[in-house]
Structure formats: structure tokens, C-alpha cells
Amino acid sequence: GDEHVGRVLTGLPMNGEELAILPPIFMPETQEDEAFIDECCKSTMDVNLVNPGVARRCLASVVFHILKLREQLPPGHKLWADRTINNKQAMEKLRSLIFSGFQDNPIAMEANLCATGVPPHCALLRSMRIVKDQVAKLIPGVDEQLSQLPKLFRDALDEAIADGKIEGAPLTASNLERTVLRLLEESGLKDVPRLLQEGNTVRTRTPDRPTNLADFGLQAHKTLPSDFYVPNMTLQKSWYHWMLGDAACGHRPWRLIQLCEVNDKKARE
């Protein structure tokens, strides 16, 4: 309880992840830095009366918050008469030796620093914020991959039509579908086929981006008309119908049509 009360009294937000921040602490890397910190502690307080560990923590806190202290304390305050506090070079060096962060920081973990008096929700808030930041970093890459999909499909189709084969196999609907799925997987978008088949709405972070299958040129699941049939067409056009459907007639991609929906014998074959 005392640790939590102390954090609240320092002004840390009770309902934010900042409540779990560690207090400033010196993290010297060399013996020379250790000696320098000890010398500064001796010049600012009587180490015979104050525990050396407490003295280091107090000095670290003063150095870390020096700008705020200058704003709040009057010019005649006793603190400003201290030799170390008035030494700009010494203060800059002390500042460079201070660590202040969260206990999941590698520096804190290596030094076994642990925050006390922290409610569980603070750790959850920090974890959620970290996940949010990671997702935000992934979005540009996903956007770039999505923008490359039309070119990938077009190049694959042009190559297949020119060769009369696709990946060395006969140019059939099943082979086309296999190639498209492979391209999606190579683009890092393994879930796209599932989303397309389920007809899920695609949510994006900007309103000018497509937000559903229809905006991508893919029609949602609609009942086929009873007179649906497959007309004579070029291989390229049939591939587009297979992948994208027929927007003019309101037909979804042919690859999503179930056999039981088709009455025309030729289309069923």
C-alpha cells in the first residue's frame, strides 16, 4: 500500500501506464562513473547521516527533475546554493548516467529493477499500447502488399496466356486458383482467401480505401438467377469471371458458386 500511495502522491496518473514507471536511478558503467556519483553525493548531503543508497536515489531524483524544480522552487531556496547543483558540467554528466523507464525495459531487466505498488491494470494498459504500436507499424507494409496484388495477378495471367500453361501445368481453373492462392501467401496475405470466401467486410483505417468485397469488384453472396449460364468467351475473360465475378449482372466470382445453384447443364459441366 505504501508504494502505491507514494506513486499517487508524486502525481503519476492513477489510471495510466505511467503509474508503473520506475523512479530515476543511476546506472554507471565504469568505476570512474561510480566514484563520480559518490563524490557528488558527499558534496550535496551528509552521507554519515544518510544511507548511501538513499543518498544516490535522492540525488538521482533531483537531477532528473531539475527543470521542474527550477520552475517550482523560489530563487532563494537552499538547493540552489549547492555546489554540485550549480555545476552545469557535473549535472549534465549525472543526467547521462540516469535511467528511468519501465521494468520491461532491457536495462531494468538486466539490473533486476522491479516496480512496486502497481495495480494490474497498469501492466495491461502498457501491453495494449505496445500491441497497438506494433500493429500501427505493420499497417504500411500491409497497405503496400495490398497495392501490389493487382500487378501480381495481372503478371501471372499474362504469363499464363502467353505460355498456354501456368506454372508448368495445363491452364485450368483449378491451376489458376492454386497460383492465385500461392501469390497471396507470398504476399503475406494468407487470410485473404478465407475472407473472400466468407464474404467478410474488410475494415481499413482510411475512408477512401475499399471497405467491402463489392468495392474490390467482388460481389457478395447472392442467389443466382435460374437462367444462369456460361457464355462463350475468351480465356482471359473467363479468368476474370472466375476470380472477380460479373459486376454488371451481379454475379459473385464463379469459384464461389456451388454446383447445386446451377441449373444449366453446360455451366454445371
Q: What is the pLDDT of residues 24-48, one digit of tens each?
A: 899 998 999 999 999 998 888 876 7
Domain count, the chain: 3
Residue 195 in domain: no
67, 88, 121 — which closes off a domain? 121
Question: Residue 250 half-sphere exposure, CB side, CA atoms within 13 Å?
Answer: 5
Domain that holds residue 59: 2-121
Q: According to the model, what pLDDT value does residue 248 have?
A: 72
Q: Is the pLDDT of residue 213 over 50?
A: no
Distance CA 269, CA 265 (A): 6
Q: Is the pLDDT of residue 149 over 70?
A: no
Report the 10 Å Cβ neighbour count for 266: 9
Residue 198 in domain: no
Angle, helices 120-163/173-186, rounded to nearest 10 degrees: 140
> Out of 43-47, 57-61, 92-96, which region has the weakest mean confidence (pLDDT)?
43-47
Residue 58 in domain: yes
Residue 76 in domain: yes
84, 103, 121 — which closes off a domain? 121
The amino acid at 183? L
Q: Is the pLDDT of residue 207 over 60?
A: no
Check whether residue 133 and residue 98 sit in a common domain: no
Residue 267 in domain: yes
Residue 201 in domain: no
Positive or negative CA dihedral for 175, 181, 185, 187?
positive
Q: According to the model, what pLDDT value does residue 109 have?
A: 79
Distance CA 224, CA 189 (A): 29
Bigger pLDDT: 38 vs 258: 38
Average pLDDT over residues 102-115: 79
Residue 31 in domain: yes
Q: Is the pLDDT of residue 194 over 60?
A: no
Average pLDDT over residues 210-222: 43
Residue 184 in domain: yes
Check whether residue 81 and residue 17 sit in a common domain: yes
Do 266 and 229 contact (CB within 8 A), yes or no? yes
Q: According to the model, what pLDDT value does residue 89 have?
A: 92
Query: H or E stretch including 165?
Result: strand 165-166
Q: According to the model, what pLDDT value does residue 196 have?
A: 54
Distances (CA, A) of 244 to 45, 167, 173, 240: 77, 21, 13, 5
Check whether residue 56 and residue 117 sit in a common domain: yes
Check whether residue 107 and residue 212 sit in a common domain: no
C-alpha closest to that of 82 among 63, 96, 110, 100: 63
